[in-house]
Protein backbone atom coordinates (compact mmCIF):
# COMPACT_ATOMS: atom_id res chain seq x y z
CA UNK A 1 0.00 0.00 0.00
CA UNK A 2 1.43 3.36 -1.02
CA UNK A 3 1.55 6.15 1.52
CA UNK A 4 0.71 9.71 0.47
CA UNK A 5 1.40 12.90 2.42
CA UNK A 6 -0.55 15.95 1.32
CA UNK A 7 0.96 19.20 2.63
CA UNK A 8 -1.80 21.78 2.30
CA UNK A 9 -1.00 25.48 2.45
CA UNK A 10 -4.38 27.19 2.13
CA UNK A 11 -4.95 29.61 5.01
CA UNK A 12 -8.69 29.78 4.29
CA UNK A 13 -11.15 27.16 5.51
CA UNK A 14 -13.13 26.15 3.54
CA UNK A 15 -11.39 27.03 0.29
CA UNK A 16 -11.34 26.05 -3.37
CA UNK A 17 -7.81 24.74 -2.88
CA UNK A 18 -8.87 22.44 -0.05
CA UNK A 19 -11.92 21.23 -2.03
CA UNK A 20 -9.68 20.20 -4.94
CA UNK A 21 -7.22 18.60 -2.50
CA UNK A 22 -10.05 16.55 -0.99
CA UNK A 23 -10.96 15.21 -4.44
CA UNK A 24 -7.30 14.33 -5.08
CA UNK A 25 -7.26 12.54 -1.71
CA UNK A 26 -10.40 10.60 -2.67
CA UNK A 27 -8.72 9.43 -5.88
CA UNK A 28 -5.58 8.32 -4.07
CA UNK A 29 -7.61 6.41 -1.48
CA UNK A 30 -9.70 4.79 -4.25
CA UNK A 31 -6.42 3.65 -5.84
CA UNK A 32 -5.50 1.89 -2.59
CA UNK A 33 -3.25 4.48 -0.91
CA UNK A 34 -3.17 5.52 2.71
CA UNK A 35 -3.33 9.33 2.76
CA UNK A 36 -2.39 11.77 5.49
CA UNK A 37 -3.16 15.46 4.98
CA UNK A 38 -1.69 18.24 7.06
CA UNK A 39 -2.66 21.89 6.99
CA UNK A 40 0.46 24.02 7.36
CA UNK A 41 -1.67 27.05 8.29
CA UNK A 42 -2.75 25.26 11.48
CA UNK A 43 0.71 24.18 12.70
CA UNK A 44 2.26 25.90 15.71
CA UNK A 45 5.75 27.15 14.79
CA UNK A 46 8.54 28.43 17.01
CA UNK A 47 10.06 30.39 14.12
CA UNK A 48 8.94 31.90 10.84
CA UNK A 49 10.51 29.22 8.66
CA UNK A 50 14.05 27.94 8.52
CA UNK A 51 16.39 30.02 10.70
CA UNK A 52 19.59 28.70 9.06
CA UNK A 53 20.78 27.55 12.49
CA UNK A 54 22.43 24.56 10.74
CA UNK A 55 21.42 22.29 13.64
CA UNK A 56 19.99 19.84 11.10
CA UNK A 57 23.38 19.61 9.44
CA UNK A 58 25.12 18.87 12.74
CA UNK A 59 22.50 16.30 13.76
CA UNK A 60 23.16 12.69 12.94
CA UNK A 61 19.58 12.16 11.79
CA UNK A 62 17.72 13.98 9.03
CA UNK A 63 15.70 16.20 11.37
CA UNK A 64 14.88 19.82 11.99
CA UNK A 65 16.09 20.69 15.49
CA UNK A 66 13.45 23.37 16.05
CA UNK A 67 11.04 21.60 18.41
CA UNK A 68 7.56 22.48 17.20
CA UNK A 69 4.62 20.94 15.30
CA UNK A 70 6.51 20.88 12.00
CA UNK A 71 9.62 18.96 13.15
CA UNK A 72 8.09 15.46 13.47
CA UNK A 73 6.15 15.90 10.23
CA UNK A 74 9.31 16.91 8.39
CA UNK A 75 11.20 13.92 9.78
CA UNK A 76 8.43 11.57 8.62
CA UNK A 77 8.46 12.68 4.95
CA UNK A 78 10.90 9.97 3.73
CA UNK A 79 8.46 7.32 5.02
CA UNK A 80 5.96 8.29 2.29
CA UNK A 81 5.85 7.26 -1.36
CA UNK A 82 4.12 10.40 -2.63
CA UNK A 83 4.47 13.98 -1.39
CA UNK A 84 1.82 16.41 -2.64
CA UNK A 85 2.20 20.16 -2.22
CA UNK A 86 -1.23 21.84 -2.19
CA UNK A 87 -1.44 25.63 -2.43
CA UNK A 88 -3.36 28.57 -3.75
CA UNK A 89 -1.25 30.68 -6.10
CA UNK A 90 -0.12 33.77 -4.20
CA UNK A 91 1.83 36.29 -6.24
CA UNK A 92 3.37 33.67 -8.60
CA UNK A 93 4.33 31.27 -5.80
CA UNK A 94 3.05 29.11 -2.95
CA UNK A 95 1.22 30.52 0.05
CA UNK A 96 3.43 31.74 2.88
CA UNK A 97 1.98 28.96 5.04
CA UNK A 98 3.32 26.31 2.66
CA UNK A 99 6.61 28.14 2.07
CA UNK A 100 7.44 28.16 5.80
CA UNK A 101 7.11 24.36 5.91
CA UNK A 102 8.82 23.95 2.55
CA UNK A 103 11.91 25.90 3.65
CA UNK A 104 12.24 23.71 6.72
CA UNK A 105 12.55 20.69 4.41
CA UNK A 106 16.22 21.75 4.18
CA UNK A 107 16.63 19.51 7.24
CA UNK A 108 16.08 16.47 4.99
CA UNK A 109 19.35 17.08 3.12
CA UNK A 110 22.99 16.82 4.15
CA UNK A 111 26.18 17.75 2.33
CA UNK A 112 28.84 15.04 2.25
CA UNK A 113 32.13 16.96 2.13
CA UNK A 114 34.11 13.78 1.44
CA UNK A 115 32.28 13.08 -1.82
CA UNK A 116 30.95 16.56 -2.62
CA UNK A 117 27.41 15.21 -2.88
CA UNK A 118 24.06 15.93 -1.33
CA UNK A 119 22.58 13.04 0.64
CA UNK A 120 18.85 12.60 1.16
CA UNK A 121 16.23 9.86 1.43
CA UNK A 122 13.59 11.19 -0.98
CA UNK A 123 14.70 9.67 -4.31
CA UNK A 124 12.00 6.96 -4.14
CA UNK A 125 9.18 9.51 -4.00
CA UNK A 126 6.80 11.01 -6.52
CA UNK A 127 6.07 14.70 -5.96
CA UNK A 128 2.74 16.26 -6.78
CA UNK A 129 1.60 19.85 -7.11
CA UNK A 130 -2.03 20.87 -6.70
CA UNK A 131 -2.48 24.60 -7.22
CA UNK A 132 -5.49 26.84 -7.67
CA UNK A 133 -5.70 30.51 -8.50
CA UNK A 134 -7.90 33.36 -9.60
CA UNK A 135 -5.86 33.89 -12.75
CA UNK A 136 -2.88 32.54 -14.63
CA UNK A 137 0.82 32.89 -13.75
CA UNK A 138 1.53 29.40 -12.42
CA UNK A 139 4.80 28.95 -14.34
CA UNK A 140 7.15 30.18 -11.56
CA UNK A 141 5.47 27.87 -9.02
CA UNK A 142 5.58 24.93 -11.43
CA UNK A 143 9.24 25.65 -12.21
CA UNK A 144 10.10 25.63 -8.51
CA UNK A 145 8.43 22.27 -7.85
CA UNK A 146 10.02 20.82 -11.00
CA UNK A 147 13.46 22.07 -9.91
CA UNK A 148 12.96 20.54 -6.46
CA UNK A 149 11.89 17.20 -7.97
CA UNK A 150 14.84 17.24 -10.39
CA UNK A 151 17.23 18.03 -7.54
CA UNK A 152 15.91 15.03 -5.60
CA UNK A 153 15.80 12.75 -8.62
CA UNK A 154 12.05 12.39 -8.23
CA UNK A 155 9.20 12.19 -10.69
CA UNK A 156 6.58 14.91 -10.39
CA UNK A 157 3.02 15.52 -11.59
CA UNK A 158 0.82 18.59 -11.47
CA UNK A 159 -2.81 19.62 -11.34
CA UNK A 160 -3.13 23.35 -11.91
CA UNK A 161 -6.57 24.97 -11.71
CA UNK A 162 -6.51 28.55 -13.04
CA UNK A 163 -9.36 31.07 -13.05
CA UNK A 164 -11.17 29.78 -9.99
CA UNK A 165 -13.94 32.23 -9.23
CA UNK A 166 -13.18 33.74 -5.85
CA UNK A 167 -16.75 33.73 -4.54
CA UNK A 168 -18.15 30.68 -6.35
CA UNK A 169 -15.09 28.47 -5.93
CA UNK A 170 -15.07 24.98 -7.36
CA UNK A 171 -18.12 23.44 -5.67
CA UNK A 172 -20.39 21.74 -8.17
CA UNK A 173 -17.73 21.60 -10.88
CA UNK A 174 -18.12 17.89 -11.78
CA UNK A 175 -15.55 18.05 -14.58
CA UNK A 176 -12.90 19.41 -12.22
CA UNK A 177 -13.89 16.90 -9.54
CA UNK A 178 -13.39 14.01 -11.97
CA UNK A 179 -10.07 15.46 -13.11
CA UNK A 180 -8.87 15.83 -9.50
CA UNK A 181 -9.94 12.30 -8.53
CA UNK A 182 -8.17 10.98 -11.62
CA UNK A 183 -5.05 12.95 -10.65
CA UNK A 184 -5.09 11.34 -7.19
CA UNK A 185 -5.22 7.91 -8.81
CA UNK A 186 -2.42 8.89 -11.21
CA UNK A 187 -0.14 9.94 -8.34
CA UNK A 188 -0.53 6.58 -6.66
CA UNK A 189 -0.01 4.67 -9.91
CA UNK A 190 3.10 6.66 -10.87
CA UNK A 191 6.31 4.68 -10.76
CA UNK A 192 9.73 6.13 -10.17
CA UNK A 193 12.13 5.70 -13.14
Q: What is the CATH number of the domain that holds 157?
A: 3.40.50.360
pLDDT value at residue 173: 83
Per-residue pLDDT of the chain (193 residues; tens, 9 = 90+): 899 999 999 988 878 899 999 999 999 999 999 999 999 999 999 988 899 999 999 999 999 999 999 999 999 999 999 999 999 998 888 999 999 999 999 999 999 888 999 999 999 999 999 999 888 889 999 999 999 999 999 999 999 998 876 556 677 788 889 999 999 999 999 665 4
Which residue range(s) make up the domain with 40? 3-189
> What is the model's pLDDT at position 191?
60
What is the domain count for the chain? 1
Q: In what order do the strands lie in the sheet with 126-132?
A: 34-39, 3-8, 82-88, 126-132, 155-161
Q: What is the pLDDT of residue 192?
A: 54
pLDDT at 35: 97
Contact assessment for residue 133 and residue 80, using Cβ atoms and an 8 Å cutoff: no
Q: What is the DSSP string of 64-79?
A: --S-SSHHHHHHHGGG
Amino acid sequence: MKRVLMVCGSPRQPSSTNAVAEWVREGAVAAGAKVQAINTARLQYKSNGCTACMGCQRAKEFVCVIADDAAPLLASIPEYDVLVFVTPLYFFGPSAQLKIFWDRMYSLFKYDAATGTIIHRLRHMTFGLVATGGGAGFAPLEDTVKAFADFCGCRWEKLVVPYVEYQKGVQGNRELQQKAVSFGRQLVAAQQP
